[in-house]
Amino acid sequence: MKVTIGQINTTNGDFDGNIAKILEAVEKAKTDGSDLIVFPEVVTHGYTSQDWFQDRDIVEHALDSLEKIIPATVGITAVVGTIRPNEDTDGRRLYNSAAVISNGELIAFVDKSLLPEYDVFDDPRYFEPDRNPDGVVEITARDGKRHRLGVVVCEDFWNDKTFWKERLYENDPTELVIRQNAEIVVAINASPYNKGKIKLRCEMVSHRAKQAKIPIVFVNLVGGNDGIIFDGASLIADSQGDIILQAPAFQEFVETVEIDDALPDSRGITGGEIAAIRDALVLGVRDYARKNNFKKAVLGLSGGIDSALVAALTAEAIGAENLLCVMMPSPFSSEGSVKDSEKLIENIGCEGRIEPISDAFQVLLNQLHLNKPTKGGENLAAENMQSRLRGVILMAISNAEGRLLVSTGNKSELAVGYCTLYGDTNGGLAVLGDCLKTEVWAISRYINESAGREIIPNAIIDKRPSAELAPNQFDQDSLPPYELMDPILHLYFENKFSPGEIIERGHDAKLVYEILNKVEHPSNEFKRQQLPPTIIISKNAIGVGRRRPITHKYRRLQK
């Protein structure tokens, strides 16, 4: 039996574009002599359509896309992720479904049973669960043989009691179809990228195939959707658990394999986690710009590592010729910052521009009767005014030239509020908002190593971090060293550890409470809730999945 992975990049609500990609993949599968092509979850509409799934018109016309796909399946079977109306008067108005279409006929819907509502997921808000899951569907292959597919939708595959130490659900729809003598399990997914997840998926699929002794086709969505990045990395495992077809991460992929007579796919997933993060960020910028019709971008280049990395990533994503880097020196900008920025611009090959803010800064100091800072923290209003002046310039360029303004703040700074609202937080997309400062350094070094040359000047990578809003100002004057702070932030955000659990792992108790109370302070939550969409690369990130009130009196008290 020949099976095709249809790993495609969809856009929310782009029905014609999504259908065109589906039909193109179906035709390629036919050319390959495939029996079955499998697409990801909700590819007809876009999985992250959010409250569009509650729109009456969307519900009423939920099946329109399928009507255009069905005729193209003559001679092949396609499993297509879609939505379908709930005809009952009770419950949510839609099901999240896999449509099984074979030889020009819709033969079955398999509805999602387990609906996640953690991190970035909110399925129960939109979908009615299948309360009596039965995903076994019989299809006919090209040679006339009948095959029993066990079809499951995303979360319905992720509850294997032999793989997970802790499970979120009592039921396991995949176990059910295996018990019902499915010959092959087909799992359609929209599983977002976060660190370590690609390896985890491969292990999970291989384990289940080996345990059940049947092949598994695991197809995952690819593409950027606001801040959520789907990495693809779809795979097919044979009945021994060997991976016989591995799709690359972060790109579209349509390819066919004979599951009954295939060797292990030696390509695998290459590169380490830092390489994957870099690829995820590039895809996030590229798709956000492309899907929102931005051909060009702009950013403020300070001479620091964060803006340098964002410049390198954005140039890779949309082309260096489409990127404008603006240097905006103030009275406190060092000569080295401008020279380092100019060297970066030369290395990347993008356009550079200098727009000094010193004169405008002095005018506003006089008008508002503010003193110029003589040391960091002495006059925050004057310090922040510099950042806001830069924000005004960048937004003006964005408006005048139709450029996407990309924000450059990192997660470490945003977590503890070391940023200026309506200044360096301005922008249409926060590229590094889920990258800790130590990760920013690691990605920057990786970019240079993989290029075999100095793209981001080492002078920038090795420079002591500074906002340069006051004389001789350095981040460490206001913050703990990033090497001490970032491991604590990692455990807090990504592992959801309590202060006690973090301290048990060797971190100073006073520092832990100091950092967590900064993170959770209402003023910093106020800033974060006004950030642009943030590209997410971790679990429990700053972004759409984090839900905290601004107004609260919770405090972490050291015992």
Are 38 and 188 within 8 A, CB to CB?
Answer: yes
3-state SS, one letter per residue, for 345-402: HHHHCCEEEECCCHHHHHHHHHHHCCCCCCCCCCCHHHHHHHHHHHHHHHHHHHHHHC
Instruction: Provide φ and ψ at 198, rounded to 5°.
Output: -60, -50
Catalytic residue among 21, 41, 197, 463: 41
**For the chain, what is the radius of gyration of the CA atoms?**
26
Verify whether residue 41 is a known catalytic residue.
Answer: yes
Q: Tokens 């937080």 label which residue?
A: 425
3-state SS, one letter per residue, for 54-114: HCHHHHHCCCHHHHHHHHHHCCCEEEEEEEEECCCCCCCCEEEEEEEEECCEEEEEEECCC
Task: Give the Cα separation of 351 and 344 in Å (integer).
Answer: 11
> Regarding beta strands 146-153 and 136-140, do their DSSP bridges make them parallel or antiparallel, or are they unpaired?
antiparallel
- Largest Cα–Cα distance in the chain? 85
Verify whether residue 112 is a known catalytic residue.
Answer: yes
Question: What's at 485, amino acid-wise?
Answer: M
What are the Cα distances from residue 89, in Å, to 129, 393, 426?
14, 54, 45
Verify whether residue 454 is a known catalytic residue.
Answer: no
Are 97 and 82 within 8 A, CB to CB?
Answer: yes
Token digits of residue 371:
């003193």
The DSSP letter of residue 146 is: E
Helix axes 437-451, 305-318, angle to 10 degrees: 50
Token digits of residue 96:
């999240």
Catalytic residue among 154, 202, 350, 419: 154
Burial class (CB in 10 A: 0-12, 13-18, 19+), 265: middle
Torsion sign, CA atoms 240, 244, 245, 248 = positive
Burial letters 344-382, b for 16+ CB under 10 A, else e: bbebbebebeebebeebbeebbeeeeeeebeebeebeeb
Catalytic residue among 21, 112, 197, 437: 112
Residues designated as active site:
41, 112, 154
